[in-house]
């Protein structure tokens, strides 16, 4: 994810009203989650849904930000990288089975960056 992508995502999160609700599907190690969390207004809850499982070749030596040791626990890295983001609520699992409780008025912003292939994306 580029710096420009992060700025666009943060700008969208900043438009969510105070006490709103944001959902991110597939935050993995938390780079976008951090940007969303820090851009959000006070009282906004940021739910993140991910199984935090490594995929083959996720962060090899040729990947941006890599290499990251795949023996490291992905969810622990997420927690470390998003430390200080007190508005993030982690939900461990795959969407759509794992999801936050739907608010009465709906979610204010949903960012889907999970399974990038069909049929996973269609099912989300």
**In this predicted model, what pLDDT tens digit does every residue of 56-95 receive, in sequence order?**
555 555 655 555 666 778 899 899 999 999 999 999 998 8
Burial of 113 (0-12, 13-18, 19+ CB in 10 A): middle
Counting the structural domains of the chain, the total is 1
CATH number where 10 lies = 3.40.50.150
Range of the structural domain that residue 12 is part of? 3-123
List the 88-92 sheet strands across, edge first. 88-92, 45-50, 21-25, 109-112
**Global pTM exceeds 0.85:** no
CB atoms inside a 10 Å sphere around CB 82: 23
């Amino acid at each position: 994810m580029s710096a420009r992508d992060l700025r666009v995502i943060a700008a969208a999160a900043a438009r969510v009203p105070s006490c709103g609700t944001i959902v991110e599907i597939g935050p993995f190690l938390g780079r976008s989650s951090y940007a969303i969390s820090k851009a959000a207004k006070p009282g906004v809850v940021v739910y993140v849904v991910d199984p935090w499982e490594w995929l083959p070749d996720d962060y090899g030596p040729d990947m941006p930000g890599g290499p990251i040791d795949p023996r490291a626990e992905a969810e622990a890295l997420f927690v470390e990288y998003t430390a200080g983001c007190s508005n993030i609520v982690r939900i461990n699992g795959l969407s759509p089975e794992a999801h936050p409780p739907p608010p009465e008025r709906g979610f204010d912003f949903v960012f889907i960056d999970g399974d990038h292939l069909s049929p996973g994306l269609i099912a989300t």
